[in-house]
Amino acid sequence: MYLMVPKIRNGGYIPFFVEARKRSEAALMNVIQEAYINGVSTRKIEKLAKTLGIESISRSQVSAITKDLNEQVEAFRNRTLNKEYPVLWVDALYEKIRDNRIVKNMAVLL
């Protein structure tokens, strides 16, 4: 029986479960980053990881993982804009208005 073994161009064998582990690690990184974005502190993220059975994540590692987010945000903020984007500012003041003998709140646009 002939068995096809996947190999890298430079040689070597990568089993299928290695890719799955990389995907799960990437998913964990995304969860940590999402929690950080939503305002969860690094201590709470560390406790959350321990409840999930992950003992090796420390506050400094969480900070290192979220450091990449700062670089992505900075790149987004400093990107070049190729066209002008018009902006319309609208504000409203709520006043009590009498309408057919009924008093109700209505917005007066400014």
Give the Cα separation of 75 and 53 in Å (integer). Answer: 34
Question: Residue 25 falls within a domain, yes or no?
Answer: yes
Q: What is the pLDDT of residues 63-86, one digit of tens each?
A: 777 787 888 888 888 988 888 878
Q: What is the pLDDT of residues 25-57, one digit of tens each?
A: 777 778 888 888 888 887 888 887 778 777 777
Contact 32, 45 (CB under 8 A): yes
Give the Cα separation of 57 and 50 in Å (integer). Answer: 8
Domain count, the chain: 1
Task: Indicate the pLDDT class of residue 1, thresholds 50, 70 and 90.
Answer: low
Structural domain of 38: 16-82
Beta strands in 1-110 (DSSP E): 92-99, 102-109
| DSSP 3-state percent helix, strand, coil across the chain (nearest 5) | 45, 15, 35
Question: Residue 3 falls within a domain, yes or no?
Answer: no
Query: What is the model's pLDDT at position 57?
Result: 75
pTM flag (> 0.75): no
In the numeric block, which tokens belong to residue 58?
């420390």
Question: Residue 58 falls within a domain, yes or no?
Answer: yes
User: Amino acid identity of 34?
Assistant: E
Question: Residue 62 falls within a domain, yes or no?
Answer: yes
Residue 29 CA to chain centroid, in angstroms?
10
Question: Residue 10 falls within a domain, yes or no?
Answer: no
Question: Residue 31 falls within a domain, yes or no?
Answer: yes
Question: Residue 1 falls within a domain, yes or no?
Answer: no
Question: Residue 6 falls within a domain, yes or no?
Answer: no
